[in-house]
Amino acid sequence: MSTKRLLGIFAHPDDEGMVGGALLHYNEIGVETGLVYATRGEVGEISDPSLATPETLGTVREKEMSAAAASLNVNHLWFLDYRDSGMAGTGENQDPRAFINANSAHAIGKLVAIIRTFQPQVMVTFDEIGGYGHPDHIAIYKYVTGAFHSAADDALFPEAGPAHAVSKLYYASFSRRQLAMLVDWLETAGYDNFLKDMDIQQLGLADDQISVVLDVERWHEAKARSWSQHRTQISPNSPMSHMPPELQRKWRGTEFFQLAASRVGPDLVGENNLFAHIP
């Protein structure tokens, strides 16, 4: 195993789309990469009924995620085995198996066990808004933040193995500039603005929150191939499926990260390296 390791922790298969370039970039320079998912996205939409049913969607999406991970050269994949909670305010929120109803110590303990086994120096998850406010995204943000601190404490979760101090925790999200670009295109192209009920000035990362800007344009095609594995989630009627190629490249060509916690000091302007200051 490489001496440097990067672990992304998210809620549903396909959430890794916003960090696919980072996974490819760091893997190319010898960093071992891994992904953790709280759920299998069991209550997501199904783009084509020939691909899955509501009863089989979780199993199908796990297979899609395995294929997407292979496209990103990710060799370590874990599922925490919670159930997708669905969008805020839906009946799925009430399911006792739903991730948002998980026992906090239980969820953090599962993450601590993975962290102590994989021993990453860098972890990445959603920001406090969860990208666009999905309850599971916000829940994973809370639990990963807790696990970052807990994994380093010998007194906590001793059954999960020896303590491991992760050097840096990042939150990944869209930049507000990206979201403004998307809204402008949706309105100009005449599509329904699915962000219309959200305040985009409260979503994503503001310029002063961004610690690392990764230029991943060279990985555009590889990211697209990985995303294409999530077949149940790709609707030909979605506005995103009709975004012009040049706009797609801009959308996928840059990834943004906010340094949330560090044991090796702050990132410096212009470094743009998730592993900066890590020996």
Query: Residue 74 and residue 269: Cα distance in Å, rounded?
Result: 29
Arithmetic mean of pLDDT over the chain: 93
Q: How far apart are CA 180 and CA 49, in angstroms?
A: 33
The number of beta carbons lying within 10 Å of the beta carbon of residue 73 is 15
Mean pLDDT of 260-271: 97
**Contact of 121 with 4, CB cutoff 8 Å:** yes
Alpha-carbon distances of 106 from 79, 80, 128, 160, 261, rounded to whole Å: 14, 10, 20, 12, 22
- What's the rounded mean pLDDT across residues 86-107? 96
Nearest to 110 by CA among 86, 144, 83: 144
pLDDT at 1 over 60: no
Q: Does the pLDDT at position 200 exceed 80?
A: no
Query: 30: phi > 0 → left, psi -120 to 50 → alpha, else beta; which?
Result: left
Assess whether pLDDT exceeds 60 at residue 101.
yes
Contact 36, 14 (CB under 8 A): no
Q: What is the pLDDT of residue 55?
A: 97
Mean pLDDT calculated for residue range 83-91: 95
Report how far residue 83's alpha carbon sits from residue 80's, in angstroms, rounded to the nearest whole number: 9
User: Tens of pLDDT along 37-60?
Assistant: 999 999 999 999 999 999 999 999
The half-sphere exposure of 170 on its side-chain side, counting CA atoms within 13 A, is 30
pTM of the model: 0.95
Which segment of 18-22, 200-204, 257-261 scores lowest on mean pLDDT? 200-204
The residues that bridge with 259 in the sheet, in sequence order, are 170
Predicted local confidence at residue 247, as pLDDT: 83
Q: Can you tell me which residue has the tokens 């906090």? A: 104
- Structural domains of the chain in order of their starting residue, each with its CATH number: 5-262 (3.40.50.10320)
**Neighbour order of strands in the sheet with 32-37:** 76-79, 32-37, 5-10, 122-126, 168-173, 254-262, 212-215
